[in-house]
A and B are shown apart, each in its own frame.
Chain A
Amino acid sequence: MKNKLSLGGRISIFLVIACIATLWFFPMWRIDLAAPQYPEGIYMNIWINHLSGDVEIINGLNHYIGMKTIHEEDFKEFVYLPIVLGSFCGLGLLVFFWNRRIGYYIWTSIFLLIAAISMYDFWKWEYDYGHNLDPTAPIKVPGMAYQPPLIGYKKMLNFEALSQPDIGGWFYIIAGGILVGVCFYEWKRSKKKMA
């Protein structure tokens, strides 16, 4: 039974599922914007299935520099993400019942894969959004692009932008931490048993 998961490892599956489940209740990402005219700040929340916050205000402002307006319908991600994450949680239950270390390793790999693809997709969207500008836009600044930061702070014209995970995003990161940590622990345990 040396290939089986430890008790902690098995319990961690439910912790990870619980962390992922928060994404249905809290936004995963948050972009804050501030400008001299917006001392109170404006923000946009990205959820796994929709957007919230001052999206209309951001759209109104961005037409000056020719950025595309943001519409929920344009994001196929909002359809895929809940399915992918829901399936991932289901897969976790299989890992629990199968109760094999290798299952856990695979599960973790899938998680990291989803994270990597999501971040790449997010970056690609930001790049497209910040670079594909309407050539007839009223304000054109040579060489200027308006790609928001993937994570962290950036100043663009009169706006300061701060991009960071929101509550759901942080729980996703915690889930990642648990998965990697447990993998490492299981790996150590397996080596000890072999020795």
Chain B
Amino acid sequence: MKRFSLILIAVGAIVFAQSCKMKTTEAAVSGDAASKVYVAPGKYDEFYNFVSGGFSGQVSVYGLPSGRLLKVIPVFSQNPENGYGYNEETKPMLQTSHGFIPWDDEHHLALSVTNGEHDGRWLFANANNTPRVARIDLKTFKTVEVLEIPNSGGNHSSPFITENSEYIIAGTRFSVPIAEQEVALTAESFKANFKSTVSFVGINQQTGNMGISFQIVLPGVDLDLARAGKGPSHGWFFLSCYNSEQANTLKEVNSSQKDKDFIVAINWKKAEEYVKAGKGRKMTTEYYHNVLNEETHTATSNIMKEVITLDPNELKDMVYFIPCPKSPHGCDVNPTGEYIVGSGKLAALIPVFSFDKIQKAIAAKTFEGDYHGIPVIKYEAALHGEVKKPGLGPLHTEFDAKGNAYTSFFVSSEIVKWSLKDLTVLDRVPTYYSIGHLMVPGGDTKSPYGKYVVAYNKITKDRYLPTGPELTQSAQLYSIEGDKMQLLLDYPTIGEPHYAQAILADKIKGQSVKFYDINHNKHPYLAKGEKETKVVREGNKVHVYMTAIRSHLTPDNIEGVRVGDEVYFHITNLEQDWDIPHGFAVKHADNAELLIMPGETNTLKFVPKKSGIYPFYCTDFCSALHQEMQGYLRVSPAGSNTPLKWYMGKQDTTAVAAK
């Protein structure tokens, strides 16, 4: 026994010695961190933080500095929680030229801007897998528009936005043959057929509606990330790219051979001129444009048939390539618009390019050659300078208002603060673990709010209580108010957080809609009051005009439906008060519930497979008598002649409808 405890002590001593050698993560948090992120119950956060949901396809909304999850906005994935993509009204939002697609991979977000500053109108999001962009209305926090992008694969460099929200862009990470051709997968075929495209999606300044203004067709490279110029560089767009080797297999190795890939500089004002002058080529294609009407509460799909393409080989002075070391990822423009920071994933330095020098190099034609006919500016001629030995695996850079840059390092798992003035490293903090994007509130605008930098991490391992093999991803909040960055908070996120945006809450909280005015509800199956409820048979389609109000559904007893019928429950929430949604579900319905906001109408399609009695009920605990908010649907066998009948309480709604 004694020997056993000796062994234990020895083991304990070794463990202790080991842990002393390694720096512990707790040591990184200092005493007053808690008070800096504490937002007392009932108090509001200072910032809305919109975070991409990655492979969840959605966008999450957090409060900063508390890190509290406020909402998940369904965008590119179905959401059974509120019926998005399941109810008849929102199914068209997920329609594409390849049918209904219920999922996507959402990476980047862009808040609308005016003069390079957040204006609180819209939030744009990209879908990487089936190339699409979406627009979210910041009054209702609802996805109101989805636009498919043709001639694209891997819509990654998207939806970055220009200074006055003129355009968001959509660049291809996976170059593909134009017009969806089917071609051989060989090295020769790749070089001959595969192209990258950069789509400029114009934004209607009044309605926010999106449309593809033009597509610039580039040689087949992997366009990765992008930023619009601002201030002096307004009118230009900068995109990073890798695989200038044009490999089509084992890209891990074959795309990493060249010492330098490129930053693509696009003069989009010039492109606009070419389009205006009719120099674009009209190309027949097919893509979907889905728009939600907030008065009918219904989305419709329009099939678009044409895009205008621009070829930089024919149309000169529009596109230039700038060499950038080793497979660049992030491509970020500082608040003044003068500097463009490229981040070579495999580089041991960070090059900073000068817009002024790029312009001079173009004017003097200081080119080192061309890449598939497009001029390549000499590296040195465009370079402002390099940040030496910043860390391993630089990915993304954000800025504060004091002339500092913050770059994330995936491999060395840290954020490095450096000065734009003299390109020296000022501070570094570890992240837990393997940071991808980072975000300074307003850090991509002309006037960063500063105050915090948030790290979005890929790996959490031991950071939280273990939950089996599948672990959450995370965010870490750091204060950047002092000279040294200070870790304040660490919290889990939904899906995989890529890029994020944050806006001062005061800019948008006052415009948040509380409920929909039922007098403006123009839904074709609206029942504006219980007197308008009815059940209508049209062949084998049965339309139920139903209302919900605390605490009953009208009608709540329905007979005369037969097996083989398609039943459409059109539920109008009659409430006109804040935070009184009603839910609706039917037993054995093979989709999801409805969650209907006050003044809104939503439709659940139900195709009963067997005869019987099907209870339905309100799924959102709406009131003291919520549990009583239920009813029955009688489904008779196919071919039977049970008369169509419906009622609620003493009210014989059948008789009312008969009049």
Question: B-contacting residues of A (Cβ < 8 Å)?
Answer: 40, 54, 56-57, 60, 64, 138-139
Counting CB contacts under 8 A, is B550 at the interface? yes
Residue of B576, B577, B625 touching A64 (CB-CB under 8 A) = B625
11 contacts between A and B (CB under 8 A): A40-B578, A57-B576, A60-B550, A60-B575, A60-B577, A64-B550, A64-B624, A64-B625, A138-B551, A138-B628, A139-B624
Q: Is B577 within 8 A of A57, CB to CB? A: yes
**Total contacts A to B, CB within 8 angstroms?**
19
Q: Is B625 within 8 A of A138, CB to CB? A: yes
The minimal Cβ–Cβ distance linking B403 to chain A, given in whole angstroms, is 44
Contacts of B623 in A (CB 8 A): 64
The minimal Cβ–Cβ distance linking A60 to chain B, given in whole angstroms, is 6
Q: Is A56 within 8 A of B576, CB to CB? A: yes
Counting CB contacts under 8 A, is B549 at the interface? yes
Bound-state CA distance A54–B577 (Å) is: 9
Contacts of A54 in B (CB 8 A): 577
Question: Number of B residues whose C-beta is below 8 Å from A?
Answer: 11
The minimal Cβ–Cβ distance linking B518 to chain A, given in whole angstroms, is 10
Contacts of A56 in B (CB 8 A): 576
Contacts of B578 in A (CB 8 A): 40
Minimal Cβ-Cβ distance residue in A for B576 = A56
Contacts of B575 in A (CB 8 A): 60
Contacts of A138 in B (CB 8 A): 551, 624-625, 628
9 shortest interchain CB distances as A-B pairs: A57-B577, A138-B625, A56-B576, A60-B550, A64-B624, A64-B625, A60-B549, A139-B624, A60-B577
Interface residues of B in 250-278 (CB under 8 A from A): none
Bound-state CA distance A149–B551 (Å) is: 28
Contacts of B628 in A (CB 8 A): 138
Bound-state CA distance A139–B623 (Å) is: 12
Bound-state CA distance A64–B552 (Å) is: 12
Bound-state CA distance A10–B75 (Å) is: 72
Interface centre among A40, A138, A139 (most CB of B within 10 A): A138
Question: A-contacting residues of B (Cβ < 8 Å)?
Answer: 549-551, 575-578, 623-625, 628
Bound-state CA distance A57–B623 (Å) is: 13
Contacts of B576 in A (CB 8 A): 56-57
The minimal Cβ–Cβ distance linking B273 to chain A, given in whole angstroms, is 53
Minimal Cβ-Cβ distance residue in B for A64 = B624
Contacts of A60 in B (CB 8 A): 549-550, 575, 577
Contacts of A64 in B (CB 8 A): 550-551, 623-625
Known: A64-B550, A138-B624. 15 other contacts (CB 8 A): A40-B578, A54-B577, A56-B576, A57-B576, A57-B577, A60-B549, A60-B550, A60-B575, A60-B577, A64-B624, A64-B625, A138-B551, A138-B625, A138-B628, A139-B624
Bound-state CA distance A182–B624 (Å) is: 55
The minimal Cβ–Cβ distance linking B490 to chain A, given in whole angstroms, is 31
The minimal Cβ–Cβ distance linking A37 to chain B, given in whole angstroms, is 8
Bound-state CA distance A60–B552 (Å) is: 12
Bound-state CA distance A11–B8 (Å) is: 102
Contacts of B549 in A (CB 8 A): 60
The minimal Cβ–Cβ distance linking A178 to chain B, given in whole angstroms, is 41
Bound-state CA distance A88–B551 (Å) is: 47
Minimal Cβ-Cβ distance residue in B for A63 = B550
Minimal Cβ-Cβ distance residue in B for A37 = B579
The minimal Cβ–Cβ distance linking B510 to chain A, given in whole angstroms, is 14
Bound-state CA distance A64–B549 (Å) is: 12
Bound-state CA distance A57–B598 (Å) is: 12
Bound-state CA distance A56–B549 (Å) is: 12
Minimal Cβ-Cβ distance residue in A for B549 = A60
Bound-state CA distance A64–B576 (Å) is: 17
Bound-state CA distance A78–B242 (Å) is: 77
Contacts of B550 in A (CB 8 A): 60, 64
Bound-state CA distance A139–B551 (Å) is: 12
The minimal Cβ–Cβ distance linking A193 to chain B, given in whole angstroms, is 63
The minimal Cβ–Cβ distance linking A66 to chain B, given in whole angstroms, is 13
Contacts of B625 in A (CB 8 A): 64, 138
Interface centre among A57, A60, A139 (most CB of B within 10 A): A60
Bound-state CA distance A57–B575 (Å) is: 8
Bound-state CA distance A56–B578 (Å) is: 13
The minimal Cβ–Cβ distance linking A140 to chain B, given in whole angstroms, is 13
The minimal Cβ–Cβ distance linking A55 to chain B, given in whole angstroms, is 11
Bound-state CA distance A83–B405 (Å) is: 73
Contacts of B551 in A (CB 8 A): 64, 138
Bound-state CA distance A163–B549 (Å) is: 28
Interface centre among B550, B576, B577 (most CB of A within 10 A): B577
Bound-state CA distance A138–B623 (Å) is: 12
Contacts of A57 in B (CB 8 A): 576-577
The minimal Cβ–Cβ distance linking B623 to chain A, given in whole angstroms, is 8
Bound-state CA distance A40–B578 (Å) is: 10
Bound-state CA distance A17–B576 (Å) is: 39
Minimal Cβ-Cβ distance residue in B for A39 = B42
Bound-state CA distance A56–B575 (Å) is: 9
Minimal Cβ-Cβ distance residue in A for B624 = A64
Bound-state CA distance A11–B6 (Å) is: 106
Bound-state CA distance A57–B624 (Å) is: 15
Bound-state CA distance A168–B551 (Å) is: 37
The minimal Cβ–Cβ distance linking A116 to chain B, given in whole angstroms, is 37
Bound-state CA distance A22–B162 (Å) is: 54
Bound-state CA distance A148–B550 (Å) is: 23
Minimal Cβ-Cβ distance residue in A for B623 = A64
Contacts of B624 in A (CB 8 A): 64, 138-139
Minimal Cβ-Cβ distance residue in B for A139 = B624
The minimal Cβ–Cβ distance linking B537 to chain A, given in whole angstroms, is 32
Minimal Cβ-Cβ distance residue in B for A56 = B576
The minimal Cβ–Cβ distance linking A92 to chain B, given in whole angstroms, is 42
Bound-state CA distance A20–B426 (Å) is: 72
The minimal Cβ–Cβ distance linking B98 to chain A, given in whole angstroms, is 46
Minimal Cβ-Cβ distance residue in B for A57 = B577
